[in-house]
Every structure is written in structure tokens, then in C-alpha cells.
Amino acid sequence: MSFSQLRPTQLCFARLTPPATRFSWRSTALGRRYMSQDIGRDFMTGEASSRLTITKTTSPKELPPSKSLLFGRTFSDHMLRIPWTEATGWGAPSIAPFSDINLSPGATVLHYAQSLFEGMKAYRHEDGTVTMFRPDMNMKRMNSSAQRLALPTFNGDALIECMKELISLDRNWIPKEPGHSLYIRPTLIGTNGTLGVAPPNEALLFVITSPAGPYYPQGFKPVPLHGTTEYIRAAPGGTGAYKLSANYAPGVVAQKSAAKQGYAQNLWLHGPEHWLTEVGTMNLFVVIKDRDGVTELITPPLDGMILPGVTRDSVLTLARNHASGAKRLQGLPDAIKISERPINMAEIILSSKEGRLVELFGTGTAAVVTPVERIGYNGGDVMIPTGEDGMGPVSKPLWTELVGIQTGAIKSDWNYVVAK
Ligand SMILES: Cc1ncc(COP(=O)(O)O)c(C=O)c1O
């Protein structure tokens, strides 16, 4: 009997993972942690009796027409929940109709921002296959965020399997039109209702999903950035390299200030040298030509202030494969240097003045690639070249390849099959 025929159903989770194992816990400065000698085994779901339970909605909602889809406004019929307590570890995962979460007004998430999340997508290919794009990377990042917040870590493979069941159940929520996808939002919060800054002894991991349209339905539109120095997103030793909810709330005022001055996003500049770090909630790439005419694709290094983006890693990997000859991408210059190195506004301005600035773009799950047309800086605008259709000569072939992979036109082991 197939999974979807069970109603309401219980799926023995043990079939997805090796037999349960003895856990090894140790107290660390950050709290109680699972120690890694059993990594790869299923400790997310507790002992062998752990089950994923599925309760289907009796009142399925209508998928809104694709044309009126607004990002993050509509949620699919079901959600996944996995509770955790310090005393008993991870409890049984459950998929049930999307509903509110009951929280004590004393819950630590509400007072001390013990909250982190991920953003990823599932795509429907032309032949109907549904895949998730590189979910292993999101699981790695989510566990690293959990560690930074003293929230419980978990087995990423086990969560991927639970998410596959959720997406498979709600697969009709992936719009059929090209360029559409299902946005997946795993979230982990501290839930114990006790005041006091300490590692939480109760937590909830939940996953909700939301149908998403193409970011640029009318074609690429390069955006203007505000070179922001009066607010910071991240600092050395801080939390910029983790996807913590607390990183985002303070950015809203900065975003509003940029918008008031006519800019679409903040270009976060760090330190007196104004090092470029990130664009809004995207990683940043700059393309310049050196004085010998060689094209250099530059992104700031993962120095603790930069979020290790899945799209950033994918763009770097594709570009490096091209440069090494492992897989050439049509349209990319043959000789291209790929650098993870710091770059500051002085270098941007100099390369612009010398006519060597080729393009600048942001990368992220939501829009994949966002071209930039100018940077508001020191009371003026630094103009950035953009291609005829909005994309530059380096971002275009990289975007084409990446989107080709995500939508299944190009075969890749970055795609995890959810359902055929
Ligand atoms: C601050 C920040 N930087 C970069 C990214 C891009 O990361 P990804 O490519 O994994 O979506 C995101 C989005 O998740 C983000 O919030």
C-alpha cells in the first residue's frame, strides 16, 4: 500500500533509517549535546518505536490561482511537527493539518529569540517528478544554527525523509506553471515556559510549506542597492553565519530606511574600509576584469559574518567546474578566476572608473540570482553594468544552468526525489 493511501496513517519511521541506537549525551558550554559517534543513525525520532504519524485534513483548501500568488501568504494543507525535551530527546514526528501552535506566554522563543529557520524549495519537473534542491546543505546549516543557539541538533537525513512525506502529501500545492515551486520553511524554537536565559529544555521543530511563483514574472529587473553603513547585519564573533530569526528583525528598519531613499535592498558594508558582505538577505557576487583582461568572479569569504548560502555554494561549484573544464557552461568566458576574497567599496569604485566592473548580483533560494544596477554610496550612485535582458554575462549562464538543474531539465545529484 502506498503511503498516500493510508488515512489517517502511521508510518513506521524505522523503515527509513537504521535501527535505533544508544545515544551518547554530554554537557557542553552550550548545553546538552548529542555526541557524534553515532552520527548517521536516527536519533531524531527516539527509540525504535518512533513513528511518523499522518493525519490528513478533512477540509482541503483550494490552491490560489498562480497569478495571484504572493510569497509566504498561503500555506499548504499540512505541516510537520517534532517535539523535543531535554528529558526524553526527540519525540515522534507528526504530519497533521496546518494549524496554530500553542505556546506559553513565558516561552523562551518569545523572550530570548530562541528561534532559527531554513528556506528551501521543492520543484515539479516536466515529467511530474517532484524534487528538493540540495536539502542536505540546509540540514547542515540548520544544525549549525541549532548548535549556535544551544537548541537541540538532529539527524538531517531523518528530517529530509519526514519532509519528503510532507511534500509528497501536499504535492498538489506545487503550482504546475513553469518557474513555480513549493517553498519549505523548517523552523526550530525553544518552547519551555520559563523565564531565564539558558538552553531551553523543551523545543519544537516544525515545517510549513507555501506555494511560490517566479520571483521575476516580467523578466529580470536589476535592483538599486543602498550601501548601508549606519546599521550592521553581522559582526565578527556574532551570528551572521547562522540562520537565526534574531538576525532578521533588526534588518527591517534598515530596509525601510533604504526603501525611503529609493533603494530596493541594503548592501551591508562592514568596517571603516566598507567591505561588501551581503545584499539584503542574499549572498553577493561581483565580477571584475583584471588589468590583463581576465574575468574574476568574486564573493566575500565565509569569515563568520556571511551566511553560507546554498545558492552561493552552487554558483561557486558550477563556476569552478567550468573553470576546471569538468563541465563547461555555454556563454561563460573560458578563462575565469573564481575568488572567495574580501572586496571593498574602494575596489568597486576603482574598477568602475577604469571600466573593469562587469556586474554585481545577489544569490539566494528565493530569486536564485538578482542583478544589481547601482549602489547608493556617499551621497552618489555607483553605476553597475547590466546586460540587455537584465542579467550580466557571467550570472546569465550560471543562472541558466542552476535553474535547469532545479527544474529537472539538467540531471544532477543535487536533486533529491520526493515523488515520481
Ligand atoms: C542573510 C542571508 N544571506 C544569504 C542567503 C542566501 O542563502 P540561500 O542561497 O541558502 O538561500 C539568505 C537566504 O537564506 C539569507 O537570509
Q: Which amino acids bring their CB within 6 angstroms of ligand 1?
A: 119, 278, 281-283, 307, 309-312, 363-365
Distance (Å) from CA 292 to ligand 1 centroid? 33
Percent of the chain with pLDDT over 90: 81
Residues in the chain: 420
**pLDDT tens digit sequence for 96-148:** 999 999 999 999 999 999 999 999 999 999 999 999 999 999 999 999 999 99
Q: Which atom of ligand 1 is nearest to the CA of 365?
A: 11
Q: According to CATH, what is the number of the domain 223-406? A: 3.20.10.10
Q: Which of 283, 313, 369, 399 to mutate to test the pocket of ligand 1 (most atoms within 8 A of CB)?
A: 283
What is the Å distance from ligand 1's center to 62 Cα? 30
DSSP annotation of 197:
S
- Distance from the alpha carbon of residue 140 to the mean position of ligand 1, in angstroms: 14
State the pTM of this model. Answer: 0.89
In angstroms, the CA 78 to CA 94 distance is: 10
How far apart CA 144 and CA 154 sit, in angstroms, is 10
**CA 181 from chain center: how many Å?**
14
Kindly report each contact of residues 97-106 with a partner whose C-beta sits within 8 Å and lies 24 or more positions away, as own/partner.
Answer: 97/55, 97/56, 97/57, 97/59, 98/57, 98/208, 101/204, 101/206, 103/191, 103/193, 104/191, 104/192, 104/193, 105/193, 106/193, 106/194, 106/195
Q: Domains of the chain: which residue ranges? A: 3-214, 223-406
Closest CA to 4 of 172, 237, 247: 172
* Shortest-distance Cα residue to atom 6 of ligand 1: 364
Nearest CA to ligand 1 atom 7: 309
What spacing in Å lies between the alpha carbon of 56 and ligand 1's midpoint?
32
Model pLDDT for residues 405-417, shown as the tens digit of each residue: 999 999 999 999 9
* Residue 120 grid coordinates: 528551501
The pLDDT tens digits for 217-252 are 677 889 999 999 999 999 999 999 999 999 999 999
The grid coordinates listed for 225 are 542597492
Distance CA 136, CA 74 (A): 26
Strand positions, DSSP E, 141-299: 181-190, 202-212, 223-228, 265-270, 275-279, 282-289, 295-299
Cα 182 off chain centre by:
13
Residue 185 pLDDT class (50, 70, 90 cuts): very high
The atom number, within ligand 1, closest to the CA of 278 reads 3
Distance between Cα 281 and ligand 1 center (Å): 5
Distance 132 CA to ligand 1 centre (A): 17
Cα 109 to ligand 1 centre (Å): 22
pLDDT in tens, 355-376: 999 999 999 999 999 999 999 9
How far is it, in rounded angstroms, from Cα 22 to Cα 298? 46
pLDDT at position 178: 86
Q: Which atom of ligand 1 is nearest to the CA of 282?
A: 4
Q: Is pLDDT at 10 greater than 60 in this prediction?
A: no
Topology (CATH) of 3-214 = D-amino Acid Aminotransferase; Chain A, domain 1 (3.30.470)
